[in-house]
């Protein structure tokens, strides 16, 4: 979720018109109408317990139930299998038939399903998530995004559907032909906000993968772990699906404690910090839309010219093109397939991907002055866990009630799991000073920067996961000595953290890392960056997610 609808690009792009062609068939009056279905049927509920369908405690006869030992693939396996399967999505083709060599699904930015990144994605090609030779793993801290969802409320795809439906019910109506002919009978089948079936699958499988990789760490647990999420429906479902995959569907509810933090204005949560940061909900946050709009004005006109000839009665705009590309992604992750996907060439999809990258970079990435402030609360919690020291200064998004409690925020557990949103993943990455992600920035708005590392389908896709491994090097050491961060199976350099030198495995001495990150926490001014009345400097040369201290005396 991103406040201020700053990533929707809805209503902010200037309209561009082309000559409208004429189709052969008038669209149905239901074209663009919303289609929904609810299950179970009205008035039908399952009674629990139901004497007609007794549960296993009544039926008995469970068969043999001995368990095996814990898996520890991250330390014992010769390799970690890459996550590449996009099932149940039907891989789309492109308008120029490049679908066999170009993967459209991986060009959807934050709407792409998570996939394992190449080891060298962030500059460390000679390492992997596997524990480095000579080291042993002590604990992991996992921050992951929810799974694939329907569009957020008021999204561009819903607005495009409403536009078509409105046109279909005028006296003139509209008609579409050729590649757009399906619009004559197309209906909008997407809900809003909640997980799709693919989203549920993603988080269940992430839980399974985590158990196979890190399950042996449970042997160090002295109590049931406390894992966190927020109160939104998709966030709770994501957390429960992960737990079911990790612990098993019959055991997960009694194998851990699920802490649900309220996600709403007026409640502190480091997993949804934008709710308490005013500059995450105003024109400062909307700067990503401003920048992405410039690129949209460049890449969409040729698409409009190509497609407009196939539809009359509806004037296509840049907003519509973006909405149609988003609809391709949303229908695919919800329904398995979308006829919108093949309307666009490989170049069109590369342009859409860059549009999303720009939007995130300047709204909730290195180029926005309120980004680090939104992520710094979570970074403080990570340091609190690493040092086993309670947070005592509460001037960020940290919830004092939670982090002050031994029950709600325990230190001594080997696996920490927190669920968050795409914009918080990017904010935390910036707050952590993972500077390799921003290399090559600021991003231009008049052409695609091909060598950029800031690619949102790599950083914040559905079910993205950012993992901190706490390690002992050498393995014979009884206490942790090093730390490293892994994003979607690619190790991220820690050279942005003061004192951490280049390392082929992405390792940094733990004491050095803690000290350098504490300095990062101290330099991020949450109160100013979130609450001060300022404008983004033009040109925007910010690359660390903070308002430049040298410009503060020029603010109102």
Q: Classify 327 as helix, strand or coil.
A: helix
**What is the pLDDT of the chain when averaged over all its residues?**
94
Q: Taking residues 435-461, report their average pLDDT.
A: 96
Residue 414 has which token pair?
């080997």
Q: Nearest CA to 252 among 77, 93, 417, 399? A: 417
Residue 530 CB partners (closer than 8 Å, separation 6+): 276, 277, 278, 279, 280, 370, 373, 374
Residues 6+ apart with CB under 8 A from 548: 369, 537, 542
Question: Tell me, what's the pLDDT at 14?
Answer: 28
pLDDT in tens, 283-301: 999 999 999 999 999 999 9
What's the Cα-to-Cα distance from 230 to each of 234, 272, 273, 391, rounded to whole Å? 9, 8, 11, 20
pLDDT tens for residues 304-359? 999 999 999 999 999 999 999 999 999 999 999 999 999 999 999 999 999 999 99
Decide: 480 and 221 in contact? Cβ < 8 Å: no
Paired residues of 226 in beta bridges:
257
The yes-or-no verdict on residue 497 having pLDDT over 90 is: yes
Please tell me the predicted confidence (pLDDT) of residue 25.
83
Confidence grade of residue 18 (pLDDT, cut at 50, 70, 90): very low
Q: What is the pLDDT of residue 383?
A: 98
Looking at residue 171, what is its pLDDT? 95
Q: In the chain, pLDDT over 90 holds for what percent of residues?
A: 91
Least confident of 86-90, 282-286, 336-340, 442-446: 86-90
- Report strand pairing: 482-487 vs 490-492: antiparallel
Distance from C-alpha of 443 to C-alpha of 428, rounded to nearest angstrom: 20
For the chain, what is the radius of gyration of the CA atoms?
Answer: 24
182: cis peptide before it, omega within 30°? Answer: no
* Mean pLDDT to the nearest integer, 77-97: 92
For residue range 93-126, what is the model confidence (pLDDT) as tens digits? 999 999 899 999 999 999 999 999 999 999 999 9
Own/partner contacts of 395-403, CB < 8 Å, gap of 24 or more, are 395/526, 395/527, 396/270, 396/273, 396/526, 397/268, 397/269, 397/270, 397/273, 397/276, 397/277, 397/526, 398/268, 398/270, 399/261, 399/267, 399/268, 399/269, 399/270, 400/268, 402/259, 402/261
Instruction: For residue 89, count CB atoms less than 10 angstroms from its CB and return exposed for 0-12, middle for 13-18, buried for 19 or more.
Output: buried
Task: Give burial (CB, 10 Å; 0-12/13-18/19+) of 536.
Answer: buried
pLDDT confidence of residue 24 = 61
Sign of CA dihedral 159, 164, 165, 170: positive
Cβ-in-10-Å burial (0-12, 13-18, 19+) of 46 comes to exposed
Mean pLDDT of 40-53: 90
Q: Please tell me the distance from the alpha carbon of residue 397 to that of residue 399, in angstroms, as a whole number.
A: 6
Under 8 Å between Cβ of 363 and 5: no
How far is Cα 326 from Cα 156, in angstroms, rounded to an integer? 8
Average pLDDT over residues 223-235: 98
The whole-number pLDDT of residue 47 equals 87
Long-range contacts made by residues 503-506, C-beta under 8 angstroms, separation at least 24?
A: 504/124, 504/126, 504/127, 505/124, 505/126, 505/127, 505/132, 506/124, 506/127
Q: What pLDDT, in 10s, does the model give residues 530-545?
A: 999 999 999 999 999 9
> Per-residue confidence at 555, pLDDT binned at 50, 70, 90?
low
Q: Residue range 73-95: average pLDDT?
A: 93
CA 42 to CA 433: how far, in whole Å? Answer: 51
Section 38-43 average pLDDT:
90
Q: Which residues fall within 8 angstroms of residue 469, CB to CB, at 6 or more apart?
A: 74, 129, 131, 137, 140, 483, 484, 485, 486
3 pLDDT higher than 90: no
Position 1 scores a pLDDT of 45
pLDDT in tens, 136-168: 999 999 999 999 999 999 999 999 999 999 999
d(CA 352, CA 318): 11
> Coil, strand, or helix at residue 235?
helix
How far is residue 460's CA from residue 506's CA, in Å, rounded to a whole number?
20
Give pLDDT, residue 311: 98
pLDDT tens digits for range 264-277: 999 999 999 999 99
Confidence (pLDDT) at 2: 43
At 6 the pLDDT is: 40
- The packing angle between helices 346-364 and 287-308, to 10°, is 160
DSSP 223: S
Q: What is the rounded distance in angstroms from the CA atom of residue 237 to the CA atom of residue 253?
A: 13
d(C-alpha 8, C-alpha 11), whole Å:
9
Which residue's entry shows tokens 């393995």? 475
State the first-to-last Cα distance of the chain, in angstroms, to the nearest integer.
Answer: 30
Identify the pLDDT of residue 21. 41
């Amino acid at each position: 979720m991103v406040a201020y609808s700053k990533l929707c690009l809805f209503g902010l792009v200037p309209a561009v018109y082309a000559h409208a062609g004429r189709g052969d068939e008038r669209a149905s009056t239901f074209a663009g109408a919303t289609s929904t279905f609810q299950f179970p049927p009205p008035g039908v509920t399952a009674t629990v317990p139901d004497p007609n369908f007794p549960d296993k405690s009544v039926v008995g006869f469970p068969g043999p139930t001995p368990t095996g030992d814990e898996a520890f693939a991250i330390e014992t396996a010769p390799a970690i299998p890459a996550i590449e399967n996009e099932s149940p999505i039907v891989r789309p083709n492109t308008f120029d038939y490049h679908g066999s060599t170009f993967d459209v699904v991986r060009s959807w930015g934050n709407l792409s399903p998570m996939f394992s990144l190449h080891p060298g994605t962030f500059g460390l090609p000679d390492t992997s998530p596997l524990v480095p030779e000579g080291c042993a793993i002590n604990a992991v801290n996992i921050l992951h995004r929810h799974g694939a969802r329907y569009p957020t409320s008021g999204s561009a795809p819903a607005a495009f559907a409403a536009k078509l439906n409105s046109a279909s019910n005028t006296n003139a109506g509209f008609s579409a032909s050729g590649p757009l002919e399906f619009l004559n009978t197309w209906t909008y089948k997407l809900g809003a906000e909640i997980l799709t079936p693919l989203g549920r699958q993603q988080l269940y499988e992430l839980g399974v993968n985590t158990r196979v990789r890190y399950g042996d760490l449970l042997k160090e647990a002295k109590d049931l772990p406390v894992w966190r999420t927020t109160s939104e429906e998709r966030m709770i479902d994501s957390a429960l699906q992960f737990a079911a995959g990790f612990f098993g569907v019959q055991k997960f509810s009694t194998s851990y404690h699920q802490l649900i933090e309220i996600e709403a204005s007026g409640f502190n949560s480091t997993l949804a910090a934008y709710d308490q940061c005013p500059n995450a909900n105003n024109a400062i946050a909307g700067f990503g839309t401003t920048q992405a709009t410039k690129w949209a004005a460049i890449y969409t006109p040729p698409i409009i010219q190509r497609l407009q000839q196939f539809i009359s009665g509806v004037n296509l705009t840049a907003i519509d093109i973006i909405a149609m590309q988003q609809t391709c992604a949303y229908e695919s992750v919800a329904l398995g397939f979308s006829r919108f996907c093949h309307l666009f060439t490989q170049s069109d999809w590369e342009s859409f991907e860059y549009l999303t990258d720009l939007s995130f970079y300047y709204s909730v990435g290195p180029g926005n002055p309120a980004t680090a402030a939104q992520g710094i609360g979570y970074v403080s919690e990570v340091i609190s866990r690493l040092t086993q020291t309670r947070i005592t200064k509460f001037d960020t998004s940290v919830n004092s009630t939670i982090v002050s409690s031994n029950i709600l925020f325990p230190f001594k557990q080997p696996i920490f799991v927190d669920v968050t949103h795409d914009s918080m993943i990017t904010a935390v990455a910036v707050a952590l000073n993972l500077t390799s992600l921003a290399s090559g920035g600021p991003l231009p708005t008049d052409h695609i920067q091909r060598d950029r590392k800031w690619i949102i389908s790599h950083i914040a896709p559905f079910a993205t996961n950012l993992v901190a491994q706490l390690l002992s090097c050498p393995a014979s050491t009884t206490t942790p000595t090093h730390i490293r961060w892994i994003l979607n199976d690619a190790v991220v350099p820690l050279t942005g953290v003061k004192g951490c030198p280049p390392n082929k495995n992405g390792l940094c001495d733990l004491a050095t890392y803690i000290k350098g990150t504490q300095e990062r926490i101290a330099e991020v001014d949450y109160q100013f960056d979130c609450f001060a009345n300022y404008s983004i400097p033009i040109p925007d040369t910010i690359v660390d997610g903070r308002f430049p201290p040298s410009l503060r005396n020029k603010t109102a």
